[in-house]
A = this chain, B = another copy of it.
């Protein structure tokens, strides 16, 4: 009973009106052919295929899950065929390098496609999401001979990539991995070890599976600086691209999970499997970060997509469900009761969900635009600024989008009342599917540590200054009274962020526990400030849209401004609490001994 249609109107608005995407694209050689017409056609066609092929498999995929039988994994009914349909449409290479048969579309556009994938079927979306990240890594770090063999087939969805990092005793702390690689002459290595939680480690959707595996060379230094990266295909690849022998690796089983049940989460055993080194020895973690950073934004978009589909389904329900009367008297007196959307508290929940979604969508496109610039902008200074913003905002995109995405699914489920808890309505699946996004690909706590430790503290706030300068520059203009709230709110919140950042940097000198104590709240603060900025941008564009159209104007713009006002008035105030929480410092956290945390019967 759930429904989904890609939010094309909002995507067009954000791309075209908020970020002037065609202007962006025009100034970069790689994308200068792309105009808004083509972009819109791509979005419309991707919406069509995703709605028709993937969304109908979402609930059934959850109910059925993946199957494991003697090392073989089959995906839920329909997954393989839908995957092939999209492969034939060229969708799995949408952002791929054109030199190797990719479509070369900018990230600003592919994030919209990814949102649709996750919204329509989050379990399904993970297979191409891992593949795209693996292809990106190979494109940046593999020699041309490997790129020519692998990339066209990965873009075609013929072969699919994975990311093999975690082992039973280590997830966050990859320095502890035990998987090792023995040189085997011939520039190849024999990889031995066991990896867990490998998304798409084994399945029936592709001819070959391309594992990117972290392992240690015999002479590896201790810890995270002794990790190397290997390409380990399920079937070895002959020089002509044809498949050779089955490699010495196998799937040992599937995890039983809370959600994303259509995604095969595999135990992968490497028993002297043949692999080749990608990048330099002992620098595998750095190399892997090309893929991990891609996946972090992608997982952020999982939160966004699930928030969007949860919103849409809840609104379907709210339109039909009649309970009680509006506070000011019956709105639909001819019916036994009013639709529940008349109730202020139902509207509050709906607007919360929507403000998170629309703010998150703009934020994802903003980060994507910086990724495009950092890669393609003709000016070095522009590339450098964009790169700094990407570095700063990647953990925020991963953690804030997933945390607010989870909140959105929970709030949307609440709108249903009891029906939200019953499987048939679909709302509870979105909650279960969204929950993982806060956990995998580096927990949100780890993202926050990355933000305050590596991105804020280590360079004494230099990245943050870039962010603040960019935001402030965007606020230097005369503001019409109608949207002054947004402008004022942004200035005030930016000042708060800068003030708190300075104090945190000061306080953390010589006291590293202060960073960990502040991390999650600080990330949330930066997230809310970034969303406020996005809402300023959207409010400005909506206002301009209304001015251009004359007094009545498009209901879309009016609604956009109303949702934005809700964000500013009822959601942004959370920063006030976050400020106090951050300023409380580490001391209250560190008083208890480990024994004090243990339950006392």
Contact B351 A589 (CB under 8 A): yes
Number of A residues with CB within 8 Å of any CB on chain B: 111
In the complex, whether A289 has a CB less than 8 A from a CB of chain B is no
Q: How far is the CA of A566 from the CA of B443 in the complex (A)?
A: 23
Query: Quick one: closest B residue to A595, CB to CB?
Result: B555
Which chain A residues numbered 1 to 48 have a C-beta less than 8 Å away from chain B?
5-10, 47
Chain B neighbourhood of A432, CB < 8 A: 258, 432
Q: How far is the CA of A279 from the CA of B258 in the complex (A)?
A: 45
Q: Which of A148-156, A513-521, A541-549 contacts B (4 or more CB under 8 A)?
A: A513-521
Q: How far is the CA of A349 from the CA of B521 in the complex (A)?
A: 11
In the complex, whether A184 has a CB less than 8 A from a CB of chain B is no
In the complex, whether A315 has a CB less than 8 A from a CB of chain B is yes
Beyond A345-B519, A346-B445, A584-B570, whether A591 also contacts B577 by CB under 8 A is: no
Q: Which of A73-81, A96-104, A296-304, A412-420 contacts B (4 or more CB under 8 A)?
A: A412-420
Chain B neighbourhood of A47, CB < 8 A: 601
In the complex, whether A176 has a CB less than 8 A from a CB of chain B is yes
In the complex, whether A211 has a CB less than 8 A from a CB of chain B is no
Chain A positions 130 through 163: 1 when the CB is less than 8 Å from some CB of chain B, otherwise 0: 0000000000000000000000000000000000
Beyond A439-B414, A599-B311, whether A344 also contacts B586 by CB under 8 A is: yes
Contact B588 A577 (CB under 8 A): no
Chain B neighbourhood of A171, CB < 8 A: 323, 417-418
Contact A596 B559 (CB under 8 A): yes
Contact residue among B343, B347, B351, B439 (Cβ-Cβ distance under 8 Å from A417): B439
In the complex, whether A277 has a CB less than 8 A from a CB of chain B is no
In the complex, whether A333 has a CB less than 8 A from a CB of chain B is no
Contact B443 A599 (CB under 8 A): no
Chain B neighbourhood of A418, CB < 8 A: 166, 171, 197, 439-440
Which chain A residues numbered 563 to 590 have a C-beta less than 8 Å away from chain B?
563, 565-566, 569-571, 573-577, 580-581, 584, 586, 588-590
Contact A344 B562 (CB under 8 A): no
Contact B570 A345 (CB under 8 A): no
Chain B neighbourhood of A349, CB < 8 A: 445
Number of copies: 2
Which chain A residues numbered 334 to 387 have a C-beta less than 8 Å away from chain B?
336-337, 339, 341-351, 354
Which chain A residues numbered 163 to 179 have a C-beta less than 8 Å away from chain B?
166, 169-173, 176
Chain B neighbourhood of A346, CB < 8 A: 445
Within the complex, the shortest CB–CB distance from A457 to chain B, in Å, comes to: 11
In the complex, whether A423 has a CB less than 8 A from a CB of chain B is yes
In the complex, whether A438 has a CB less than 8 A from a CB of chain B is yes
Which chain A residues numbered 393 to 443 have a C-beta less than 8 Å away from chain B?
406, 410, 413-414, 417-418, 420-424, 428, 431-432, 435-436, 438-440, 443
In the complex, whether A322 has a CB less than 8 A from a CB of chain B is yes
Contact A350 B7 (CB under 8 A): no
Which chain A residues numbered 501 to 535 have a C-beta less than 8 Å away from chain B?
512-513, 515-517, 519-520
Within the complex, the shortest CB–CB distance from A413 to chain B, in Å, comes to: 8
Q: How far is the CA of A56 from the CA of B6 in the complex (A)?
A: 45
Which chain A residues numbered 448 to 501 have a C-beta less than 8 Å away from chain B?
448-449
Query: Quick one: closest B residue to A172, CB to CB?
Result: B323
Within the complex, the shortest CB–CB distance from A429 to chain B, in Å, comes to: 8
Chain B neighbourhood of A319, CB < 8 A: 594, 597-598
Q: List residues of A whose CB falls within 8 A of some B CB.
A: 5-10, 47, 166, 169-173, 176, 197, 255-259, 311-312, 315, 318-319, 322-324, 326-328, 336-337, 339, 341-351, 354, 406, 410, 413-414, 417-418, 420-424, 428, 431-432, 435-436, 438-440, 443-445, 448-449, 512-513, 515-517, 519-520, 555-556, 558-559, 562-563, 565-566, 569-571, 573-577, 580-581, 584, 586, 588-601
